[in-house]
Chain A
């Protein structure tokens, strides 16, 4: 794959710039010699047509939601409404500097305030911070809130453990560790849910709390959720809910009604903002009454028709973002909520759960389904036993030849050769059928022509790439 550095020639540029009012040397002379740059950075030198061709060519080697079906489990790759993109580019928002005094950014503050209120209502929780820039950032914020809470209770030295079901996202243990908590893994039971017996054994005066994903990463709703949160609370712990899977029950249930103390929301999942090839997203956090005093500052508050920033929170954990959070991402999600209304939000979860269970029903004969029960927005198959030496990775790569993005693979860790499928509500039934047909055809191929899978993909810009080589001989930048 050629890079932009392989194009162009010295002296070419893609932009006409104004001239300086004086010789360059004179200006450079104002910078002490020791601080002046000796060698310019090696950057590409390309004309505008070359620049556009290069990045257009790169874009055509990418697969996005707008390209086709993207059933990446736990990532909620739903359609990204186009109105949102236009509104976020409105100069009244995009060109606004965050250090303007509140009286000069009333519009942006009004919008953030409204968004925060909507999130509180949707999650049934009384407090919100919009600062976290991503889901994992929200988790970190949540863990800091727990630390502060126990510090205030005088228990921070005692309560050092965070309980985590073995099906948890990797970000959960990583976030807990960043705040110095020790992670204790909880086994899942045969239903694919938290084992209540194991939970009871693990709870004690050294437990700060539990991190739960609801529904969990098997796509199964924790039917004992009320019992779980009651037990944790009775033992003096707090309940963190990972909201990555909110799409499963949007408009039908609220974490606040399930006993959550902290809940993060991935706007780039449930609330339709694009993933951008790995961000930016946003991870606002809602909290229970108990944790209100510890939320990050400042807060956007409404005084009549005016909006201002409030700092009066002496026990705050402090800032997790230098400004108020990813405003331009939040705008998109606010528009989404307003477009859908309550009825639309219920349709979202209905459509997502319907599509997942439809695919589950279609595929369960051809693939192992380790937890065969009603799924929520996603479900997990296993690629075991498909054919001679065939692994889940082969199935994933072969799907590319059929024109589909593969599901999430090898996660959750408790299912061998996992294939985690999340279709979302935005796919027509014809697409779901076509995907199911491809999966069934691949299962057949695995038995009859396994080499087709081993060698897949065949129809992509590059064939299967050597990941081991990338580590053995690291090339992480162009060398000159």
Chain B
């Protein structure tokens, strides 16, 4: 018997009788006969639990990458996830609940969402945040659409140093909405080279740190943009130490929250965070939890400002988003609460320290150099004559880095992108340097 369906033969008969039907097939008499007749099975027999488990684990373990030491970044980072995060996420009351439409039986979800929104505002230096988007790329694309709604402008300035995966997703959304993209170059430091700002632009995107790993100086950028949006795409761990874009005039700060307590997950699910200014609250996409009171004056939380959303406003909604990344946002909330301000700064600085120690040692190797002179955080580009050969040497030493082709759209053909987190050990750094330096 199907382990997830509790209906016995007796149940089925009793239920059919209550309905007034003879057999189960009669329940489907309203599906046109030709449609039913054309149906073909997939060709799968039912399987037992152990058998399926073996099949899946067997498949998963074919991925040799799981045994490599990851110096991989490119937008997702291998940070330590405290077990307390997984234990909280395993509470079935959290993970088997739906979107909290019925507030009185969803105070758990609505309360942590309120906490999460507070934490994201604090990290980004912004006034309001939503309860999550699918991933950083979708959050960025939605910020672009919001900028268009707010300013009426169309052209989006996109740095060449933007993560190419983000750029591709933004390009898809922007094409759909009829918004042209225009490139902004970077300088020899790997920083944004913003010469002149054309009239009538909608928004400038700045990634912090950018896809080359370089920290951008956002001072004075918003002033030059005028009413056009400054959209910052910020990496959350570095934000523990870097000035939040919100303090530098950004109109929206978005990013990928995976690093905050979520596994790499082969790229999904992820966590898009989205923060903006109060003025734009009614233009913001996504769910928001707000504090209120019950009939007895007791504090509670509800989903609020729902008139922005698709289920109320339909084609006039600020976005079509419905299901988002709630459970990943809960992971981020628990992670940030577990670390606190000091712990988060420690994780950021440990990653920074490892990356800088590694960069210094690589730069001393003959034939290798740092590609850009600007300040960096926990990721950097190594310049060398033959990136493929360097990557191959690392691979043979059991080390994985992002394939060099990732940097090609950024105009870098002689570079290897390297990232380090607090998880990388001295021994692993030694191994990295030895692999590159070996003959």
Contacts and interface: CB of A to CB of B under 8 A. Distances in A.
B100 interface: yes
Interface string B371-410: 0000100000000000000000000000010110010000
Nearest to A151: B175
A308 to B, nearest CB: 13
Nearest to A26: B353
A331 B118 CA distance: 33
Nearest to B346: A17
Interface in B79-122: 82, 84, 86-88, 90-109, 111-112, 114-115, 117-119, 121-122
Interface string B1-25: 0111111000110111011110010
B340 interface: yes
A324 B268 contact: yes
Contact of A64 (B53, B96, B166): B96
Given A319-B172, A477-B117, A27 B400 contact: no
A429 B11 contact: yes
A202 interface: no
Interface string A410-426: 01000000000000011
A314 interface: no
A190 interface: no
Interface in B304-339: 304-305, 309-317, 319-328, 330, 333-334, 336-339
Given A46-B340, A95-B264, A257-B39, A475 B290 contact: yes
B225 interface: no
Interface in A55-113: 55-56, 58-67, 70, 72, 75, 77-81, 83, 85, 87, 89-101, 103-108, 110-111
Contacts, number: 683
B18 A280 contact: no
A92 B30 CA distance: 45
A92 B44 CA distance: 25
Contacts of A110: 59, 62
B188 interface: no
Interface residues on B, range: 35 or more
Given A178-B177, A338-B52, A405-B105, 17 more contacts: A14-B337, A35-B216, A41-B344, A60-B93, A61-B111, A77-B98, A96-B265, A99-B402, A100-B68, A107-B60, A111-B60, A121-B43, A170-B311, A178-B145, A253-B28, A406-B102, A474-B281
Contacts of B40: 121, 124, 254
A460 B111 CA distance: 15
Determine chain A's interface SS by DSSP, over half rule: loop
B387 to A, nearest CB: 13
Interface in B276-315: 281, 287-296, 298-302, 304-305, 309-315
Contacts of B35: 225-226, 253-254, 257-258
11 contacts: A15-B339, A41-B244, A43-B339, A99-B76, A177-B315, A252-B36, A318-B175, A361-B18, A405-B102, A461-B104, A470-B304
A209 interface: no
Given A331-B56, A362-B18, A62 B4 contact: no
A135 interface: yes
Contact of B65 (A18, A20, A96, A279): A96
Listed residue (A30, A137, A470) with the most chain B CB atoms within 10 angstroms of its CB:
A470
B244 to A, nearest CB: 7
B203 interface: no
B338 A48 contact: yes
Given A342-B41, A465-B292, A62 B336 contact: no
Given A134-B323, A144-B176, A467 B97 contact: no
B251 interface: no
B340 A45 contact: yes
A326 interface: yes
Interface stretch (A231-239, A352-360, A383-391, A443-451): A352-360
Closest 10 CB pairs of A and B: A323-B267, A98-B267, A280-B269, A62-B108, A276-B327, A64-B96, A104-B65, A278-B326, A107-B62, A66-B92
B412 to A, nearest CB: 15
Given A62-B107, A344-B46, A34 B217 contact: yes
Contacts of B84: 14-15, 48, 51-52
B229 interface: no
A21 B66 contact: no
Listed residue (B38, B93, B163) with the most chain A CB atoms within 10 angstroms of its CB:
B93
Contacts of A339: 3, 46-47, 49, 52
Nearest to A459: B104
Listed residue (B3, B53, B63, B64) with the most chain A CB atoms within 10 angstroms of its CB:
B63
A463 interface: yes
A461 B78 CA distance: 38
A406 B101 CA distance: 10
B152 interface: no
A215 B215 CA distance: 52
A38 B405 CA distance: 37
A12 interface: yes
A457 B311 CA distance: 24
B375 A31 contact: yes
Nearest to A431: B6
